[in-house]
Amino acid sequence: MSGERERWAGHKAGVLAELCSQTIARRVSLSTRAAEEIVASTPHYRQHGPTVADLVATVWEFMVGWLTATESGGPAGPGELAAARRHGARRAAQGIAVEDVITGFYVGYRTLWRDMADRAAEQGVSEILLEASEASLGWMLEITTAISAGHHDAVAGRRVLTAAARQRLVNLASVPGATGDAEELRLAAEQAGLDPGAGLQCWWAPIGAATGEVQARIQAGLGLLPGAFAVGQVTTALLVLGHGADEEAVAAVLGEADLTSVAVGLRRTGPYAARESLTDARAAAALAAGRAGLWRFAVLWPLVITASAGERLEPLLAPAVTIAREYPHLAEAVGAFADRGLSVSAAARRLNVHPNTLSYRLERWQDLTGTDVRTVSGLTISRTAVEIAAGSPAPNS
């Protein structure tokens, strides 16, 4: 009885060895057919994937190991598993999703198995090949698991590198007044996934300490918007540098992370665009003083200039600042008038008072301060004084 088992085992081994040998002899045509079926069955491969020659080489690279496992029933070896991890990493670098990589792998080896099954049927040894299928599938599972691991590690590593590139861009841009590093800024922007030629804009949100998880969540949220963005952090704020989406949309993403005070700089172009827009946003954030709202440098620039002038403008502004603090209802009228297009009726509606009341308050303001809000200089002085008295400007949207 044992002799019969030995003879049967020897017969099976011989049959499998012959089937595998026949497959090796046909490796060129089979690898090409497998590659063509991978391309036909996997849309991403068909549109953006590697060349057929690349796929043929991959099929051939793993064919010997698969045939060895089919013939001997053994597991994948360390060298094969290492090659599988490298393959997964290579496909990740090509931008191919792990699902497509695994699908392509199975499609390719399905082609090889079907060819071997057809020859086994012709020779009347299908039962023997079927018994070997468990070992064949076991090898495939080990290899595809290693491919997935290699792909995952490569993607995770690339994310870390990209996050580091984004932070480097933020670090460079946050150095005020620096020059001579235009090329470094350009390369940093490109490495962070931005197009320096498209112009760059900065959003600034005060924050104590953003964890990597918070930054990753914001980066993912920005990824749903048109354009491209890089999230990073300086000591006291989380910053977004980017292009392609409107200011409110970016502020809304930050708001979802409970960052409700957001300052935004001008969209800048040129070699120092990131730094210049960040400088804008930082100045607007200083005026906002952490209050909720969207604070545009495009609107607040007169106050920024006033703040930077310091003591030089104090004699001009001091009388109006004093009145604004002593008569807050007059300051409120000035603010509403300035913010509602210099319209008395619109300002009155904003404050829920009669237009005549609003006009009286503006006249009273002029009597006390000597400034007429209906003139350019008077409006500028009055509006700036009101905001200085309030300690920070009202948010704008």
Task: Name the average pLDDT for the chain.
Answer: 85
pLDDT value at residue 23: 84
252 has pLDDT over 90: yes
d(CA 300, CA 315): 21
* Paired tokens of 52: 């057929």
**Structure confidence at residue 14 as a pLDDT band (50, 70, 90):** confident
1 has pLDDT over 50: no
The pLDDT tens digits of the residues spanning 187-237 come to 889 888 888 888 999 999 998 765 677 888 898 888 888 888 999 988 889
Please, are residues 60 and 27 in contact by the beta-carbon 8 Å criterion? yes
Q: Which residues neighbour 391 within 8 Å (Cβ) at sequence distance 6 or greater?
A: 289
Instruction: Calculate what percentage of the chain has a pLDDT beyond 70.
Output: 92
What one-character DSSP code corresponds to residue 206?
E
pLDDT value at residue 219: 86
d(CA 18, CA 189): 58
Burial of 28 (0-12, 13-18, 19+ CB in 10 A): exposed
pTM of the model: 0.57
Domains and CATH numbers, the chain: 2-158 (1.10.490.10), 192-290 (3.30.70), 307-390 (1.10.10.2840)
Residue type (1 letter), 367: D
For residue 233, list its beta bridge partners.
Answer: 238
Poorest-confidence range of 57-61, 167-171, 319-323, 369-373? 57-61
Better pLDDT: 318 or 390: 318
Better pLDDT: 248 or 60: 248
Helices (H), the chain: 2-25, 27-41, 43-48, 52-72, 78-93, 98-123, 126-131, 133-173, 182-191, 212-222, 247-256, 273-288, 297-309, 314-326, 328-339, 344-351, 355-369, 376-390
Rounded to 10°, the helix 355-369/344-351 angle is 100
pLDDT value at residue 263: 95
396 has pLDDT over 60: no
394 has pLDDT over 60: no
353 has pLDDT over 50: yes
Please, are residues 146 and 30 in contact by the beta-carbon 8 Å criterion? no
pLDDT, average across residues 327-340: 92
Phi then psi for residue 201, to 5 deg, are -135, 145
161 has pLDDT over 80: no
* Paired tokens of 1: 């009885």
d(CA 155, CA 98): 10
What one-character DSSP code corresponds to residue 266?
-
pLDDT value at residue 48: 64
pLDDT value at residue 154: 75
pLDDT value at residue 348: 94
pLDDT value at residue 397: 42
146 has pLDDT over 50: yes
pLDDT, average across residues 134-163: 80
59 has pLDDT over 60: yes
